[in-house]
């Protein structure tokens, strides 16, 4: 027969904690025991067991992450349009035997959407905190339709820039900003630890899928010499909100968000909705662990989250994403350049799949360093394609996994939004200078551009060695304690954590003790 104390509403646990402090009352003891049981269950759960016990969590994670396809699709458009003869003729000026979009307008087009993203992401952090993922996601779908019209109907370069800015405030705010934020954050809060790296990295795969679709659309329209060669690409963006709007209406709210707002019984109902079989009976334990998780924040966590995102730009993402224009400057025809760009996005897709196995077997930190220098050392014409796979396999996947893992429970949405803004600032600078380096009517650096990004990639390697911790096999509760205890970056893998030593100092809950996985469930797997 079930013990009576476990039949009390979950909110009773926290009410007693608030009203009676840390007294050893029966309800608080029960909450500690249930939280510890959930922690043990997280460590013992295999990937196969997690898939069977959390089918709806997996479903909603995969479904909501589809919104990031919009991000990948959109980021590939403007940079590729510079090599489109019809776009060049409509918005460019005569240069040699053809047309070129002036580098100042290229920078404005690239930076316009990103500038909208920065203000949008700040707004997003506020909205998600107060209204939750579900309401803001659904609202964004209603607004998204209108701003696409500006780019679709704009026949002057000024309207194109305006469209990018407004599109950035909504679609890119909620795609590059909100959707890219909700993907890893929402997935990490729905899923057990065994699935966390796979499904948060899947958000990066959706980015690669979007770029692949975009490259395919661009390649199929490359033979057109009228305005539809680029207008159809804009119009295709209306496809995404159609299935995502009803999905937003039906999606469950994050149980962690509900816990943060004191809605413990709602969180219990959500966890039960997301699980199946025996795991459904352990929902109370899971919510107890969420309640017990320490609310510890520090600047170190914010730094790691921000650098995980900006590192992708500093390692040369914009160099890779202007591949079509680069190959044309190297002498390829527009059609062949688009085909090669399409191949590059397919390689990036494969790279994301590889990252799943690398992070599972070698960890996040090792994956970050694995082959880090290879793409920087290759000649520029090879490096374009190699950066594609390295960006998606290593940095792209690492950022979507690491940022939600290292951020605290209380500030997760805000931390990821701040990290996205750090990324936007870096990419704004990159978007401004990259056209000057690549444009034959400006600096005309051509392949030498790769050396510029090589220097920054080396700096990111050094930063990662000293500051990027290994988070594989750690629950959010354990990571809270490790950061609060000041565990050295390069020793994260070796520490044993006891989150439930309530009577000890925070530093005593984390001690260096290399343990075998088979003999200690707290050892990172």
DSSP sequence for 283-338: HHHHHHHHHHS-----HHHHHHHHHHHHHHHHTTHHHHHTHHHHHHHTT--HHHHH
In this predicted structure, the answer to whether residue 18 has a pLDDT above a threshold of 50 is no
Compute the average pLDDT of residues 411-435.
Answer: 82
Q: CA nearest 285: which of 273, 270, 268?
A: 268
Question: For the segment 505-521, what is each residue's pLDDT rounded down to a tens digit?
Answer: 777 777 776 544 433 33
Residue-level pLDDT at 7:
46
Q: For residues 262 and 279, state if they share a domain.
A: yes
Please report how the helices 334-362 and 380-390 are oriented relative to each other, as an axis angle in degrees rounded to 10: 50
Q: Give the chain's domain count.
A: 2
Whether 517 is in a domain gets the answer no
Q: Decide if 511 is inside a domain.
A: no
Task: Output the average pLDDT for the chain.
Answer: 74
Same domain? 315 vs 281: no
Torsion of CA 286, 287, 288, 294, to 10 degrees: 100
pLDDT recorded at residue 150: 75
Choose the final residue of a domain: 294, 310, 343: 294
Q: What is the CATH number of the domain that holds 249?
A: 1.20.1250.20
The residue written with tokens 């590939």 in the block is 76
Determine which of 91-95, 215-219, 274-278, 462-466 has the lowest per-residue pLDDT on average: 91-95
Cβ-based burial of 335 (10 A; exposed 0-12, middle 13-18, buried ≥19): exposed
The verdict on 149 and 203 lying in the same domain is yes
Confidence grade of residue 11 (pLDDT, cut at 50, 70, 90): low
Same domain, 288 and 302: no
Instruction: Write b or e for each residue in 229-257: b if 16 or more Cβ atoms lie within 10 A of its Cβ, otherwise e.
Output: bbbebbebbeebbeebbebbeebbbbbbb
Q: How far is CA 29 from CA 16, 246, 265, 292, in A?
A: 11, 42, 19, 12
Burial class (CB in 10 A: 0-12, 13-18, 19+), 13: buried
Reported confidence tier of residue 322, pLDDT bands at 50, 70, 90:
low
User: Is residue 467 within 8 Å of 489, Cβ to Cβ?
Assistant: yes
- Alpha helices (runs of H) in 315-411, residue ranges in sequence order: 317-321, 323-329, 334-362, 364-369, 374-377, 380-390, 397-406
What percent of the chain stands above pLDDT 70? 72
Q: Quick one: 158 and 284 in the same domain? A: yes
Banded model confidence at residue 330, pLDDT cuts 50, 70, 90? low
Q: Give the pLDDT band (50/70/90) at residue 385.
A: very low
Q: Provide the token pair at 290.
A: 């969420």
**Measured between alpha carbons, how far is 87 from 231 in angstroms, rounded to an integer?**
9
Residue 280 lies in a domain: yes
Q: Is residue 53 very low, low, confident or very high in pLDDT (cuts 50, 70, 90)?
A: very high
Residue found under tokens 């051509």: 446
Same domain, 221 and 115: yes
Calculate what percentage of the chain has a pLDDT beyond 90: 8
Average pLDDT over residues 27-36: 68
Q: Residue 60: pLDDT above 90? A: yes
Determine, yes or no, domain membership for 118: yes
Q: For residue 442, give its domain range.
A: 298-498
Q: How large is the average pLDDT for residues 328-346?
A: 64
Q: Do residues 275 and 318 share a domain?
A: no
CB under 8 Å, gap of 24 or more: what pairs does 297-300 form?
297/408, 297/410, 297/411, 298/483, 298/484, 300/483
Q: For residues 255 and 288, give the distance between their C-alpha atoms in angstroms, rounded to a whole number.
A: 11
Tell me: pLDDT of 350 over 60: yes
DSSP state of 226: S
Contact at 8 Å (CB) between 213 and 130? Answer: no
Cβ-based burial of 8 (10 A; exposed 0-12, middle 13-18, buried ≥19): middle
Structure confidence by residue, pLDDT tens digits, 167-193: 555 444 444 455 666 777 788 889 898
Q: Give the C-alpha distances (Å, rounded to integers) separating 95 from 31, 110, 156.
A: 72, 21, 19
Residue 509 covered by a domain: no
Residue range 444-481, pLDDT digits in tens: 776 677 778 888 888 888 888 899 898 888 888 888 88
User: 81 and 31: one domain?
Assistant: yes
Q: Are residues 125 and 268 in the same domain?
A: yes
Section 379-386 average pLDDT:
45
pLDDT on residue 517: 42
DSSP 410-451: TTHHHHHHHHHHHHHHHHHHHHHHHHHHH-TTTT--GGGHHH
Residue 52 has pLDDT above 90, yes or no: yes
> pLDDT-based confidence at 399, cuts 50/70/90?
low
In a domain, 144, yes or no: yes
Residue 13: both structure tokens together: 């646990």
Q: State how far the Cα of 31 lies from the Cα of 18, in Å rounded to an integer.
A: 13
51 & 174 share domain: yes
Of 250, 276, 294, the domain-final residue: 294
Residue 188: inside a domain: yes
pLDDT at 271 (0 to 100): 95
- Are residue 144 and residue 261 in the same domain, yes or no? yes
- Whether the Cβ atoms of residue 264 and residue 286 lie closer than 8 Å to each other: no
Picking from 237, 270, 294, the residue at the C-terminal end of a domain is 294
Q: For residue 4, is it within any domain? A: no
Q: Are residues 28 and 172 in the same domain?
A: yes
Report the distance separating Cα 361 and Cα 358, nearest Å: 5
């Amino acid at each position: 027969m079930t013990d009576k104390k476990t039949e009390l509403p979950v909110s009773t646990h926290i009410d007693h904690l608030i009203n009676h402090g840390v007294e050893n009352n029966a309800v608080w003891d029960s909450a500690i025991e249930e939280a510890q049981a959930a922690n043990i269950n997280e460590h013992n759960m295999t990937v196969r067991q997690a898939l069977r016990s959390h089918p709806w969590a997996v479903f909603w994670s995969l479904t909501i992450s589809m919104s990031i396809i919009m991000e990948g699709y959109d980021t590939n458009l403007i940079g590729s349009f510079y090599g489109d003869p019809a776009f060049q003729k409509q918005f460019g000026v005569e240069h040699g035997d053809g047309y070129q979009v002036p580098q100042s307008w290229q920078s404005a087009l690239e930076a316009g959407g990103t500038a909208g993203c920065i203000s949008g992401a700040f707004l997003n952090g506020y909205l998600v905190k107060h209204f939750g993922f579900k309401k803001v996601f659904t609202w964004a779908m209603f607004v998204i339709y209108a701003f696409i019209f500006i780019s679709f109907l704009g026949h002057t370069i000024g309207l194109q820039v305006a469209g990018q800015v407004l599109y950035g405030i909504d679609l890119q705010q909620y795609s590059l900003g909100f959707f890219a934020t909700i993907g890893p954050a929402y997935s990490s809060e729905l899923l057990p630890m065994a699935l966390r790296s796979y499904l948060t990295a899947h958000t990066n795969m959706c980015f690669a899928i979007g770029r692949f679709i975009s490259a395919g659309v661009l390649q199929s329209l490359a033979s057109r010499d009228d305005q539809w060669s680029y207008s159809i690409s804009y119009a295709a963006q209306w496809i995404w909100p159609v299935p995502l709007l009803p999905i937003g209406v039906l999606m469950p709210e994050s149980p962690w968000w509900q816990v943060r707002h004191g809605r413990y019984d709602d969180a219990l109902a959500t966890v039960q909705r997301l699980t199946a079989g025996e795991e459904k009976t352990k929902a109370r334990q899971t919510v107890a662990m969420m309640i017990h998780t320490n609310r510890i924040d520090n600047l170190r966590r914010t730094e790691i989250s921000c650098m995980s995102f900006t590192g992708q730009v500093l390692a040369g993402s914009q160099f890779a994403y202007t591949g079509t224009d680069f190959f044309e400057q190297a002498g390829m025809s527009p059609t062949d350049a688009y085909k090669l760009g399409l191949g590059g996005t397919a390689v990036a897709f494969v790279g994301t799949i590889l990252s799943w196995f690398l992070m599972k077997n070698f960890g996040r930190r090792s994956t970050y360093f694995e082959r880090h220098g290879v793409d920087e050392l290759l000649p520029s014409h090879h490096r374009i394609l190699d950066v594609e796979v390295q960006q998606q396999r290593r940095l792209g996947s690492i950022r979507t996994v690491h940022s939600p893992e290292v951020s605290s429970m209380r500030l997760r949405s805000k931390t990821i939004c701040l990290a996205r803004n750090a990324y936007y600032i870096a990419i704004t600078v990159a978007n401004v200078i990259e056209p000057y380096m690549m444009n034959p009517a400006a600096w005309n650096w051509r392949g030498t551009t790769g050396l510029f990004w090589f220097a920054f990639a080396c700096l990111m390697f050094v930063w990662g060695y000293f500051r990027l911790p290994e988070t594989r096999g750690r629950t959010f509760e354990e990571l809270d304690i490790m950061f609060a205890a000041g565990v050295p970056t390069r020793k994260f893998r070796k520490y044993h954590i006891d989150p439930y030593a309530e009577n000890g100092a925070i530093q005593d809950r984390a001690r260096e003790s290399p343990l075998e996985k088979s003999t200690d469930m707290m050892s990172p797997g």
